[in-house]
Structures are given as C-alpha cells and as structure tokens.
C-alpha cells in the first residue's frame, strides 16, 4: 500500500473514533504528520500553507440525501458550453438570453443566446466572482478589488468600492442589487483571500461580513459580521428581505428589510445537505442556491476538534477532506421550503458555485470547470 493510501486509512480511523478523547484522536494523525515531515523536511508550515487558528463547532446531524434531498439525475443531461478558460464561478443572463461569466484569469466573457463561442468583453484585477445587473451594466465582485461596474458594450471597468474604513477587501464574493441601486454584498473573510478559501473553511472562525452600499451617496454600512464564510446573496422578489449564505454553518440567513420585522435577522434555511455558495432569485421568485459539494462526514467530525483539524490541515492536500464531484442545486419558495432538487451524483458538471434561471433553463457556474452548463427545468 502506498504512503498516501496508508495515511488516508489512518486519518479515516482517527476521525471515525470521534467518541474518544482529543489525544486519542490526534495520535494517529500526528504519526502521519511525522511521516510527512520525514519526507518533506521539518517545516512550521508544511507545503507553504497559511497559518490557521481553528475554532470549535459541533455541526447538527446532516439530513442526508433523502426525502426532499434524495439523489436524482435532473442535471445529468446538462449541456456544456466551453468558456475558453477556467473557473466560471457565477453566471448572469440578460433579457436577450446572452450569458455572462468571469474566469480565473480575470476575463469577463459573454456567450450568445443559445450557446456558441464565448467572447471576452472585459478584464478585471483580482478574481471575478459574483455577477449582477446594475442598471444596464454589470456589477462584478472581484475578490481583491471589491465592487466593479462594467459597461458590457465597450468593456469599460469602473471601480465602485474597494475598502471599508481604509482597509481593502480581501474576499469580496457575491452581491444582490435592489431596484433603487442599493447593493448588498459579502466579504467572505477578513483574514484569508480567495486563493486561501479552503483555509478559511477549515479554520472555521467568524471572519465574514455582509455590507450595504448606497451608490448615490457612496455610503457603506457593515450590516452583519461574525459570519462563517459569508457567501451568496439574493433578494426576495418583493425586496422584503435579503438572504446571504453562511457556508461554514450550512445555512442561509435572512435579514428583513420591510414590515414589522424590518432590521431583524433570522434563518431562512438551515442544516443544508451541502455547502451553499451563490444565490439568485428566479423570475417567479424561486430562491436558487448552488451547493458546491455535499456535506463531508469527516469534516463534520473534525469541526469540534480544532487540534486534530489543524493536524489534518497541515497534511498534503490529497489527505484532507475535499469537495465531491456531485452536481447539486436547490430551489426554495419564499418561506424557505424546498421546491426544486436538481442533482447529478456522477458529477458530469460539478462543484457548482453559481445558478441562474432564465426561460425554462438553469445556467450553472463552477469554480473548477472549463465552461458553464445549461439544464432544462
């Protein structure tokens, strides 16, 4: 058996004994860590990984892929549209059916309605993540540059907001825009940037934030902080509330904007069967959530054990809990009840991070695929 296979088996045994003491759990992993150090040298940060200070959290028992979350093949026949680059993290569709996405090299590309060759229309600094409409222009969340406005006709890029209280954003992620132009957006982490997103998930500390930005008076307000990897944002069809995913807690939060509960926060959907990423609102009010991967039982068992989790984190990437190639999208009604469950357990198009409904189709983005996908509803 290879070293990697032996190490995987050792970690699985350690994590599987979740009822034991931390010392009992950590010992096998420490042995594997010693083997790694013997191979790679005794470094404080193995393989150049960022330093993490793991928190402790006990996840609720996973609901499993049963009932409303039962596996199906609704996404298995999705069309694949090459992007001419990698990592089309989010998708946006205009009234004519043209589709926009952003790639890992900073390019913003546009597909003609119905598919075809993706044409580059602009390039931004940083990693383009969330896309929204800001009037007739594109609003782009650039991980390190913040909020950017792009004219889709000429590709002109205009910075809108890149910092808060003099500190640049590290991880501007996703946004939603109200009818009056108010922008709600997330900064996933004040500690880690996009290139270290796994570190933030594994650390599990409240580094995320939700902001409100007024494009008229340029006022920015910190609305909610202490979030565990703040992620996708969407508005109710009537703009009575704003939703924002908290990936590290497997939930979607809701902040009321109108009515007697205005200004208060509650939970829209909790204990999800996967890690929620980008959100969007469909034409009939469906709230769409991309689940980048189903829950990982090993990660759930590591979350209440920060010492063991740090030991596992320091191991080579191949030995740590990771995403599964399993396409997964959920749709909710305005009360947070599941109305759509779209999956591809074989992962033909997987690690879905963005979803957008348009004219009877859902358009899908992914952090690691080389194009987008389209599936009929």
pLDDT tens digits for range 270-320: 999 999 999 999 999 999 999 999 999 999 999 999 999 999 999 887 777
Query: Which residue matches tokens 């890029």?
Result: 157
Does the residue 56 lie in any domain? no
Q: Do 37 and 137 share a domain, yes or no?
A: no
Does the residue 62 lie in any domain? no
Q: What is the DSSP letter of 59?
A: P
Q: Do 211 and 123 share a domain, yes or no?
A: yes
Q: Do 11 and 134 share a domain, yes or no?
A: no
pLDDT, tens digit, for every residue of 312-355? 999 887 777 888 999 999 999 999 999 999 999 999 999 999 99
**How many separate domains does the chain show?**
2
Q: Do 140 and 257 share a domain, yes or no?
A: yes
Q: Return all residues near 100 (Cβ < 8 A) that are at least 6 apart.
A: 91, 92, 93, 94, 108, 109, 110, 111, 121, 131, 138, 152
For residue 174, the enclosing domain spans 67-376
Q: Do 197 and 154 share a domain, yes or no?
A: yes
Cα–Cα distance for residue pair 269/290, rounded to 1 Å: 13
Does the residue 51 lie in any domain? no
What pLDDT was estimated at residue 363? 98
Q: In 3-state terms, what secondary structure has residue 63?
A: coil
CATH number at residue 319: 2.120.10.30
Q: Could you give the C-alpha distances from 120 to 101, 110, 117, 354, in angstroms and in order?
A: 10, 6, 10, 19
Does the residue 246 lie in any domain? yes
Does the residue 333 lie in any domain? yes
What pLDDT was estimated at residue 48? 58
Q: Do 16 and 90 share a domain, yes or no?
A: no
Sign of torsion, CA 300 305 306 308? negative
Does the residue 170 lie in any domain? yes
Q: Do 28 and 145 share a domain, yes or no?
A: no
Q: Do 141 and 11 share a domain, yes or no?
A: no
Does the residue 259 lie in any domain? yes
Does the residue 49 lie in any domain? no
Buried b (16+ CB within 10 A) or exposed e, 194-211: bebbbbbbbbbbbbbbbb
Termini Cα distance of the chain: 45
The DSSP result for 93-128, as a single string, is: E-TT--EEEE-TTSEEEEEPTT----EEEEE-SS-E
Q: Return all residues near 49 (Cβ < 8 A) that are at least 6 apart.
A: 199, 313, 314
Q: Which residues of the chain have pLDDT under 50?
A: 1-11, 14-15, 17-47
Q: Do 31 and 143 share a domain, yes or no?
A: no
Q: Do 220 and 313 share a domain, yes or no?
A: yes
Q: Do 9 and 97 share a domain, yes or no?
A: no
Q: Do 277 and 216 share a domain, yes or no?
A: yes
């Amino acid at each position: 058996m290879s070293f990697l296979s032996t190490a995987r088996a050792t970690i699985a045994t350690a994590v599987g004994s979740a009822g034991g003491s931390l010392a009992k759990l950590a010992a096998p992993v420490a042995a594997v860590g010693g083997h790694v150090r013997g191979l790679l040298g005794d470094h404080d940060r193995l393989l150049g990984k960022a330093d993490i200070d793991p928190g402790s959290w006990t996840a609720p028992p996973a609901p499993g892929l049963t009932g409303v979350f039962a596996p199906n093949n609704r996404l298995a026949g999705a069309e694949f549209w090459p992007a001419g680059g990698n990592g089309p993290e989010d998708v946006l569709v205009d009234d004519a059916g043209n589709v926009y996405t952003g790639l890992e090299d900073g390019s913003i590309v546009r597909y003609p309605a119905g598919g075809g060759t993706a044409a580059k229309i602009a390039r931004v600094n940083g990693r383009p993540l969330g896309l929204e409409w800001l009037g007739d222009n594109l609003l782009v969340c650039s991980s390190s540059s913040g909020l950017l406005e792009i004219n889709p006709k000429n590709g002109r890029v205009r910075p809108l907001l890149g910092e808060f209280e003099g500190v640049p954003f590290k991880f501007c992620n996703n946004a939603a825009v109200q009818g009056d132009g108010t922008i709600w957006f997330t900064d996933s982490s004040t500690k880690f940037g996009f290139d270290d997103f796994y570190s933030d998930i594994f650390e599990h500390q409240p580094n995320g934030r939700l902001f409100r930005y007024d494009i008229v008076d340029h006022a920015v307000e910190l609305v909610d902080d202490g979030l565990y990897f703040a992620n996708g944002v969407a508005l109710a069809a009537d703009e009575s509330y704003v939703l924002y995913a908290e990936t590290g807690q497997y939930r979607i939060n809701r902040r009321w904007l109108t009515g007697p509960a205005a200004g208060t926060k509650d939970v829209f959907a909790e204990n999800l069967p996967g890690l929620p990423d980008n959100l969007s609102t469909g034409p009939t009010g469906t709230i769409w959530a991309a689940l980048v991967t189903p829950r990982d039982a090993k990660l759930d068992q590591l979350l209440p054990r920060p010492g063991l989790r740090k030991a596992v984190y320091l191991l080579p990437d191949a030995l740590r809990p990771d995403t599964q190639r399993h396409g997964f999208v959920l749709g909710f009604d305005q009360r947070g009840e599941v109305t759509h469950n779209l999956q591809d357990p074989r992962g033909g198009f997987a690690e879905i991070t963005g979803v957008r409904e348009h004219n009877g189709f859902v358009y899908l983005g992914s952090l690691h695929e080389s194009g987008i996908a389209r599936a009929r509803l």
